[in-house]
A and B are shown apart, each in its own frame.
Chain A
Amino acid sequence: MSARTRELAILVLVGLITMTGFASVYIARQNEISAGSLSYAGFFFALYLVAHFVGRLTVPDADPYLLPMAALLTGVGLTEIYRLNPTDALRQGLWVVIGVAGFSATLIALRHDFRRLESYKYLFGLSALALLFLPALPKIGRSINGARLWVHVGSLQFQPGELGKIAMIVFLAAYLHSKQEVLALGRLKDFGPLLAIWGCAMLVLVATHDLGSALLFFGIFLAILYLATSRLLYVGVGMTLFLVGAAGVYETTAHVRSRVTIWLHPWTTQPVPCPTRGGLLMQRQECESFQLVKSLYSIAQGGFSGTGLGKGTFTLTNGKLLIPDLNTDFIFSALAQELGLVGVAALLLVLMFFVVRGFNIALSVDDGFSKLAAAGLTFGFALQTFIIIGGILRLIPLTGITLPFISYGGSSVVANFILLAGLLLVSQRANEAR
């Protein structure tokens, strides 16, 4: 069986799983939604068939598991978004269309040799900066939840940082690959452009309060630096700088201090001043840590087997939502309640499988740029997953960032489809060389 035929077979299976998901939401909530909604699953499957056929033409030998796994994650996300708010699911569906278009465009444009991207490295570096900087612009930028990371044009909202992440990974991979030997010597001047672009990115992120992305960019930077130079010392120095920087930011920014306090002490028995209510005395779980605590309750409510799709409790009976941002940053807690530990573990295993395949591509391809790009993209994917779910599960302080493929949000979907296309291109190169 060829790689693409295998991909098709798994896609059919994923299509069936998605169909089952939509059907169970429909059964649980049939007095709210119509049977026509089941066509979502069919539409969704058709979209992935398009992606599959574009893949057949452009990357015939690429890894057959990545696209179906991405489809499964998107399917799970779409099902849950649909269950929480059918209108959002319609929009998300449109974004998936755009995502598949971006995916196809990337594959078609770069089908001959994606490595020519390497020579445009500074263009990528600068566009990463530009994308990160867009939300800070006065007219089109917009703040949501204290973080200024949105751009809106008309009624469309977009988080350009998601695309900036991919551009930054390409830049880092290209730059570090071309300077690999000299960088290992440790001369400061070779680091100049690298530190300049990357430092600016960090500044923009911290200034816009996008701590999750700042953490993500930092982690990706250290990982690619280590992969390229093999110097653990750089990682050590980087970590130390990070800790010093984090301590500095902690001291100077109330926003960051609050995140850490919420992380360490989400519950208080005595009332404490609530900063968002003008210092009114209330228990922290009713104020700053409200969202985290309610999300933990939602996760715990799922238990082993979950309440079942469509059967979870997310609102008061008058419809008031108990957890803010449920379908974006907190979609994991919605899934955890309805699918339970069994479902969450399965979901995380799918994410792990995706990561394993990604690194596998990095291992099997033979040139440095491709290796760095594939490993960088995959590591970024894993770290982003860890930052958001780890924050929700109180392993690390919570910073708002999307869950790849699953969260509601256009920019995230489009960016992840381009990431997927990138991995498939590298994979095609690795497999065709054999």
Chain B
Amino acid sequence: MNARIRIAALTSLTMLVALIVASTYWQAWAAPDLANRSDNSIQQVSEFTIDRGRIFASDGTTLAKNRIVHAGGQTYYFRRYPLGSLTAAAVGYATQTKSRAGLESSANDYLTGADQTLAGTFKQIGDRLLGSTIHGSDVYTSINLRAQRIATQALGSNCGAAVALEPSTGRVLALVTKPSYNPNDVESHYNRIGKITSPGCTPTSPLVDRATQGLYPPGSSFKVVTAAAALDSGRFTPTSVFQDPGYCIEYGQRVNNFTNHDQKGPEAFGTLSLATGFTDSVNSVFCNIGKRLGMHNLMNYARRFGFDQKPSIDLPSNALAISGLYQRSHLLSPTQEIDLGDPGRVAFGQSLLLVTPLQMAMVAATVANNGTEMQPHLVDRVRRSDGGIVRIKPEELAQPIKPETALELTQMMESVVTSGTGTAAAIPGVKVAGKTGTAENGTGQPNTTWFISFAPADAPRVAVAVVLQNQTGTGGMTAAPIARQIMQAILSSAPNSNS
């Protein structure tokens, strides 16, 4: 019988060895993937035993700090957001039960100290074995609190968003969405967030960051992209001549200027240049440009600016929307764009086109930065618990247009502010370049209004995009003054004072 007992013994030992192998799989091989799962509350709770790094505005004001709680024999570091809703869109929240959002999610590796050097990693393992607290790294953002405050006030009770970028670096100077929420309520007073209402919009969706996730028809603000395509492709110049009968014929049907609330001057302009058509926002001019360029060329330029893909910014990817042509909430592929898109209408920002404020701010910043698009980013630098500092270097994303094109566009955008539809954005003593947008949402419906701009036009320090939902006025009347206040706030701060 002993031979059979040996077989039974071997079978038993094989089963136990299989258990060791399976443990190795879960604890070594699969562990990193499991740690990243959103329902892994064990990981999320245990991360609160780390002295999480703090988050600062560019002037050193604390945006997120820790509150020490002793429970169940452990020390936990819970989050407090001293400024409440002011920077909620950028900073987000970190909680036990509702996971994370904003920088609290995308910069989690920094904040939990997982970004260590080799020596730091060994020290952490030592800390862990000895049961000492692990310290995360502090994150310094590029947020200019002055501009952030002024933008928040200026947006008031509207539903909308504003984004301000530093054109030469891509630093995000302000990121505002309205209505917003208080991140301190997420953990234990979540119902308060559900009760937030706003007269300006339904659903109110305070947790949605309208600046990066909100999709709106860009209206005439998209004419910057159309003009960029027209000029950069060499097919047109600012002095190219157009005939404006007050409408443009598309597929045998009239597309009237009349529907363009943004337009300045008479309904029919007669003979005019591209530059004048831009300054006064004449739809028929751009309709004709769109028809001549065709959907393919127009969208190719849009893609160079970053349309049709998630913008590259240091925020969680689930909080970013793609700008492009949409049909029934589905983004169209390049071939579908050609089949279903209407180049004449897309050229002045209507039809199926939907964009995010962040994308439009990137367009303005690219024109401001001589045609070079910088990667937008919120994290300026990181200070490790050992005192080491990591600076985030500005990165070039793309070169969508030639410097000459950017210069021509700048001049046209300047005349929008000096003598066109955007005079409300003028700042005394500063050259401002801008473009208005007033997008229709169907007959009888209120408009979505825009202003995208940068200043000073000859040495840009700030590029801004402002969007407002449910407006009766035009972009020039509603959004331009807000953009002006944001630009003024940044221009009055010392240049690059905090990086």
Contact = CB atoms under 8 A, between A and B. Distances in A.
Given A305-B129, A363-B5, A317 B42 contact: no
Q: DSSP class of B's interface residues: helix, strand, loop or mixed? A: helix
Given A386-B19, A389-B19, A311 B45 contact: no
Interface in B7-44: 7-9, 11-13, 15-20, 22-28, 30-31, 34-35, 37, 39-43
Contact of B15 (A226, A305, A383): A383
Given A294-B41, A297-B40, A352-B13, A317 B27 contact: no
Interface string A281-294: 00101100000011
Contacts of B1: 227-228, 230, 368, 371-372
A317 B97 CA distance: 10
A296 interface: yes
A303 B27 contact: yes
Contact of B12 (A308, A379, A395): A379
B269 interface: no
Contacts of B97: 316
Interface string B78-113: 100000000000000000110000000000000000
A31 B4 contact: no
Interface of A: 27-32, 223, 226-228, 230, 267, 283, 285-286, 293-294, 296-305, 307-308, 310-311, 313-319, 322, 336-337, 340-341, 344-345, 348-349, 351-352, 355-356, 359, 362-363, 368, 371-372, 375, 378-379, 382-383, 385-386, 389-390, 393-395
Given A32-B73, A301-B46, A316-B96, A378 B31 contact: no
A337 B26 CA distance: 11
A311 B24 contact: no
A336 B131 CA distance: 17
B235 interface: no
The 5 nearest A-B residue pairs measured at CB = A382-B12, A29-B73, A359-B9, A393-B22, A386-B15
Contacts of A383: 12, 15
Given A31-B73, A356-B9, A359-B5, A301 B16 contact: no
Interface size class of B (residues with CB under 8 A): 35 or more
Q: Name A's interface SS.
A: helix
A244 B31 CA distance: 36
B3 to A, nearest CB: 9
Nearest to B46: A313
Contacts of B26: 296, 299-300, 336, 393
A313 B42 contact: yes
A355 B13 contact: yes
Contact of B45 (A223, A313, A386): A313
A71 B20 CA distance: 21
Contacts of B25: 393
A351 B16 contact: yes
Given A304-B27, A395-B22, A316 B41 contact: yes
Contacts of A337: 42
12 contacts: A230-B4, A297-B41, A300-B34, A300-B35, A313-B42, A315-B72, A316-B97, A322-B45, A336-B27, A344-B23, A355-B9, A372-B1
Contacts of B129: 305, 308
Given A227-B4, A363-B5, A297 B16 contact: no
Nearest to A359: B9
A310 to B, nearest CB: 7
Given A30-B73, A223-B8, A337-B42, 9 more contacts: A285-B39, A297-B34, A301-B43, A317-B72, A318-B71, A363-B6, A378-B9, A386-B16, A393-B25
B76 interface: yes
B37 A297 contact: yes
Nearest to B10: A359
A363 B41 contact: no
B71 A348 contact: no
B76 A317 contact: yes
B239 interface: no
B127 to A, nearest CB: 11
A389 B26 CA distance: 12
Contacts of B74: 311, 313, 317
B69 interface: yes
Contacts of B28: 303-304, 341
A368 B5 CA distance: 11
Contacts of A371: 1, 5
A293 to B, nearest CB: 7
A299 B23 contact: yes
Chain B CB count within 10 A is highest, among A29, A307, A359, for A359
Nearest to A352: B16
Contact of B5 (A30, A267, A351, A362): A362
Nearest to B42: A297
A348 B16 contact: yes
Contact of B27 (A300, A349, A359): A300
Contacts of A318: 71
B27 A348 contact: no
B48 interface: yes
Nearest to A310: B73
B330 interface: no
A297 B73 CA distance: 21
Given A355-B12, A379-B12, A300 B30 contact: yes
A317 B71 contact: yes
A227 B5 contact: yes
A332 B96 CA distance: 24
Contacts of A28: 73, 131
Given A317-B71, A322-B41, A322-B42, A359 B12 contact: yes
A348 B19 contact: yes
A385 B45 contact: no
B70 interface: yes
Contacts of B49: 313
A226 B24 CA distance: 32
B254 interface: no
Contacts of B34: 296-297, 300
A52 to B, nearest CB: 26
Nearest to B27: A341
B496 interface: no
A313 B76 CA distance: 11
A375 B16 contact: no
Nearest to A362: B5
B497 interface: no
